[in-house]
Amino acid sequence: MKIPEIIIVETVHQPGSLAKVLQVIAEAGLALEQLVALRRDQGRTLWEITLEMDEEADRSLYERIGKIPTARFVGKSDRVFNRHRGGKIRIVSTVPINTREVLRDVYTPGVARVCLAIQKNPQAAYEYTALGNTVAVVTNGTAVLGLGNIGALAGLPVMEGKAALFADLVGINAVPILIEETVPSRVVELVYGIASSFGAIQLEDFAAPECFEIEEQLRAKLQKPVLHDDQHGTAVVTLAALLNAAQRSGVDLRASIVGQIGLGAAGSGIVRLLQAYGVRHVLGTDLNAGALARLAASGGEPVSLETLMQRADIVIACTGVRGLIRPEWVRSGQVILALSNPDPEIEPLVARAQGAAFAADGKGINNVLAFPGLFKGALEARVRCFSDSMLMAAAHAIAGLARGDELVPSPLDRELHEKVTAAVRAAAESMPRS
């Protein structure tokens, strides 16, 4: 697994000194992710260099850099850890509590009036509390990123990251909830027991097949939006990318043969949404017989990996297996989305070099493009559940903001999240109310 390795190197401020350091890095077969000049004084420059390195990579690189006459290896940076230190989220008051009057109004005795008003009319909670803008981000840590079953506590940095993105991108309060339970019925019971604290529930990093049962049961029991982001957020962004790929290739997405490699949470969610969109022919492959049975039951066709690569016009991979797709399997004109993070099934550059019309990985086709606006739109519309029309509206909004040769826009584009929110809200408001 490739993870960021951040090193600090000092070079003499003269032509070629940095180039020699970069040459050593290139000779080690490492990809340069980022290069930043931290400071320059007294004829020397301090560089922060971010590399993609496997855990087993040869660290003698540092010694070789140190042997360059015009360079010095200073050490490793703690940048990533420093940005997590103390956590990435906090709760702040929306009301300055600076007088006794304010204190008595927001707490006792004044708060009692608001409590009684909500007791009389529970819908008043959406007006007088943060309920309508608060999401629970729930995990049991059984399928975290590309790390697998590392447990709920080890998955907390991911949940905090989700909460930070909610807050920064769309102004939603999100609270990480860690559950030390893997039995679906018990997970459902625990989430149901705390659900009244939140306007919506985001399920995150639950392993398949348990995740399907957990989401289904919670949707049936709760009268508020529930979304397993690994399934549906990923599916929305994948559909958005395919809408653009199909349009630019001049092909009909619905008539294309789509091959899904890996039928876990993300893969199954993608298949389900593409079929709902109208894709008529879906191939799928997985090592799990139960996953193949679910695909067949939904109208998909189970095939071998090699057969899928031979027949599919569009190939989507969500396996977590680095390098699974051999370059020689790629056919000219195929669309290849290798979505596993942090290491794709095939590097996009390699796929394009083999003739792929479009190729992308999970760094670009990422559910951060979808989930903030999905939840913001659902909460603003006060719907009881997510619908396929809401998911498709989000996909079309994302696709419409891609520029140039991008399949999807940047997740840092604030207009993106506003457009997704508006599209989801409009789709939700057009749904019949029961």
* SS3 (DSSP) at 188: helix
Residues whose CB falls within 8 Å of the CB of residue 135, separated by 6 or more in sequence, listed in order: 166, 172, 173, 174, 175, 198, 199, 200, 201, 202, 375, 379
Mark whether 195 and 240 lie in a shared domain: no
Domain-embedded: residue 68? yes
pLDDT given for residue 329 in this prediction: 97
Token pair recorded at residue 320: 């977590």
Mark whether 166 and 248 lie in a shared domain: no
Q: What's 79's domain CATH number?
A: 3.30.70.260
DSSP 57: S
Mark whether 287 and 360 lie in a shared domain: yes
Cα 396 from chain centre = 18
Tens digit of pLDDT at every position of the chain (434 positions): 677 889 999 999 999 999 999 999 999 888 888 999 999 988 999 999 999 887 666 678 889 999 999 999 999 988 889 999 999 999 999 999 999 999 999 999 999 999 999 999 999 999 999 999 999 999 999 999 878 899 999 999 999 999 999 999 999 999 999 999 999 999 999 999 999 999 999 999 999 999 999 999 999 999 999 999 999 999 999 999 999 999 998 899 999 999 999 999 999 999 999 999 999 999 999 999 999 999 999 999 999 999 999 999 999 999 989 899 999 999 999 999 999 988 899 999 999 999 999 999 998 899 999 999 999 999 999 999 999 999 999 999 999 999 988 999 999 999 999 999 999 999 999 887 65
Mark whether 247 and 313 lie in a shared domain: yes
Token pair recorded at residue 153: 């506590």
pLDDT given for residue 291 in this prediction: 96
Range of the domain at 325: 230-434
Mark whether 276 and 413 lie in a shared domain: yes
Distance between CA atoms of residues 21 and 8, nearest Å: 11
C-alpha torsion 195→192→207→364, nearest 10: -20
* SS3 (DSSP) at 44: strand
**In sequence order, what DSSP letters do the residues of 305-364 get, joined into one string?**
HHHHHHH-SEEEE-S--TT-S-GGGPPTT-EEEE--SSS-SS-HHHHHHTT-SEEEETTT
Residue where a domain terminates, one of 187, 209, 224: 224
Mark whether 40 and 135 lie in a shared domain: no
Domain-embedded: residue 375? yes
Residues whose CB falls within 8 Å of the CB of residue 61, separated by 6 or more in sequence, listed in order: 24, 25, 28, 30
Number of domains into which the chain is organized: 3
Helix (H) or strand (E) holding 370: none
Residue where a domain terminates, one of 176, 200, 224: 224
C-alpha torsion 315→307→322→227, nearest 10: 50
If you search the block for the tokens 């360079």, which residue do you land on? 71
Mark whether 280 and 413 lie in a shared domain: yes
Mark whether 319 and 386 lie in a shared domain: yes
pLDDT given for residue 168 in this prediction: 97
Catalytic residues: 107, 162
Cα 37 from chain centre = 30
**What are the backbone dihedrals phi and psi of residue 391, each rounded to the nearest 5 degrees, phi first?**
-65, -45
**In sequence order, what DSSP letters do the residues of 86-150 get, joined into one string?**
T-S-----SS---SHHHHHHHSTTTHHHHHHHHHH-GGGHHHHSSGGGEEEEEE-SSSBTTTBS-
Q: How many CB atoms sit inside 10 A of residue 195's CB?
A: 19
Domain-embedded: residue 353? yes
Bridge partners, 281 (sequence order): 257
Q: What's 178's domain CATH number?
A: 3.40.50.10380
**In sequence order, what DSSP letters do the residues of 140-171 get, joined into one string?**
-SSSBTTTBS--TTTTHHHHHHHHHHHHHHH-
Mark whether 253 and 269 lie in a shared domain: yes
pLDDT given for residue 53 in this prediction: 81
Q: What's 361's domain CATH number?
A: 3.40.50.720
